[in-house]
Amino acid sequence: MGELVYQALMQSVAAFFFAVMILPAVVIFLGYLIYIVVMCIRELKKK
């Protein structure tokens, strides 16, 4: 029974870590990539 509780606890800790650390980093990175693409398109339209 203790092993089952331990597995459930580790799974919830991993999900919490993913939601708090990885997800915001991915969102920021994607926003940065979109910003680069938009700025490149603006520069190409100027010429």
Query: Confidence band (pLDDT; 50, 70, 90) for 27?
Result: very high
pTM value? 0.63
- Over range 13-37, report the average pLDDT: 95
From residue 40, how far is each of 8, 14, 35 by CA, in Å? 47, 38, 9
Would the pLDDT of 24 be above 90? yes
Q: What is the pLDDT of residue 16?
A: 93
Cα 15 → chain centroid: 13
Q: What is the pLDDT of residue 1?
A: 76
Task: Provide the mean pLDDT of the chain.
Answer: 93
Cα 32 → chain centroid: 12
Alpha helices in the chain (DSSP H): 2-17, 23-46
